[in-house]
Structure 1
Amino acid sequence: MRRFLYDLAALIARIALGVIFIAHGLQKLTSGGLDGTTAMFASSGVPLPRLAAGFSMAVELGGGVLLILGLLTPIIAFLLAVDMIGAFVFVHMRHGVFASELVAALGSAALLLAAAGAGRFSLDHLIFGQREERRRAAENAPAYVPPIAAEPLPRISPTPAESQPPAESQPPAESQPPAESQPPAESQPPAESQPPAGQEASAAREPRSSATEEPRPPIPPAGTPAEPPDTGPPDTGPPDTGSRPGPRDTEPPPPPSR
């Protein structure tokens, strides 16, 4: 809303100032032209009267028209402000406030338009407005903040290992003298050999086929020498036929004859 009000006020001020400056320029042109204006400026003590007269007539006529159209407003308004400052200093200031109030008002309004611009209701906005809008948007845009930096990072509590201070370095342990030789321990009798656990487990898993099956002999432990198979009573000689040996059988044989 404020921007619209300024644009409207700038349009009204441009039209009013433009009409006033065009009127002053036409007065100089019709009252004597360049020569008559030069003579008037020379009589008032304006330095370089002919150059100043030509500048004043061109700026007031052409500048007034461009000011109404709103074309090149900052430059034209600044030139009009310079024209009014010269008129105030060299002509109107010596005659008091009431003689210089119009010149001061016109110069101040022109200086304001030179600083603030012609507004959106002007040719400047139609020609250069898009670039100006982009420039103002870039100036008013907030600074870019990366999303990572915008959001605070979650606080991560240190692990117990990280929270503990580093352990101080320990000096190297001093070399210990060799321990005294201990006497060899008394030899212990070898423990009885136990049957392998696999044999016990396999024996426990074997089911009994029938109740009349003869019990199997126990499995000797590992390392025990195997006993020879039992094949019957030992053989002591020829079978006893009931006859006992006589004395001849027991006598030694006679010596051989020579």
Structure 2
Amino acid sequence: KIESEEYEEALCLAQTYGLDTDLVYQRQWRKSAVNIASIQNYLSKIKKRSWVLHECLERVPENVDAAKELLQYGLKGTDLEALVAIGRGADDGRFTLPGEVDIDNIPYEELSPPSEEPAKNKKEKKINKRRELLKLVNFAKLTLEQKELCRCRRKLLTYLDRLATYEEILGVPHASEQRYDAEFFKKFRNQNIVLSARTYARESNVQALEILFTYHGSDLLPHRLAILSNFPETTSPHEYSVLLPEAWYVT
């Protein structure tokens, strides 16, 4: 049924005989463009955590909003609750979102403050509960699955950070939607940020380079002069003077 793309019948058969429905949703997801609808209709119904996280990390959507949505969806499944659940063996390898697994038999309602509470109280309770969850994690003795979850989370955060930088480089939201290049972003999000800066310098792209220095200063500023030396000789230093270190004179 899956091969012949009779997905509704395949789902009915799987549900009737207690079979895994993941295969049906996986095929539909792979055959669909990545957007908010396909994330909700297909990806969110797939249970296997490793498969879902792989898709969130490897697929690069064709528009910026979908790219952000996919990364954020993966990030939700790598939160502290998932880390604790894995350590307790309470997840069964399932991709779980906050609130889907009880921690120490504490309902999610107690982990999340009621919506009618003042914002300040909600924020304080959220911070306190995260501290409680942190106490349940022994970072010195993480299991392989927990380490893999942390690795995925770090990568997702890196990709989201690079996406935010890329959006800044593209310009205002409307422009970023039109100029977004999935193939470029796939390379940019994995590239050493110093190499990215060097490329922009060689292209005399002062604006992009200024954005990189602003958002990734800790990584780039130690190499500032080496990066700036890649500007072509035909580019006047006045054009990128804003990037040059300022000299201070003591009188």
TM-based fold match above 0.5: no
> What TM-score does the superposition give when structure 1 sets the normalisation length?
0.24
> What TM-score does the superposition give when structure 2 sets the normalisation length?
0.25
- Give 1 or 2: higher helix fraction: 2
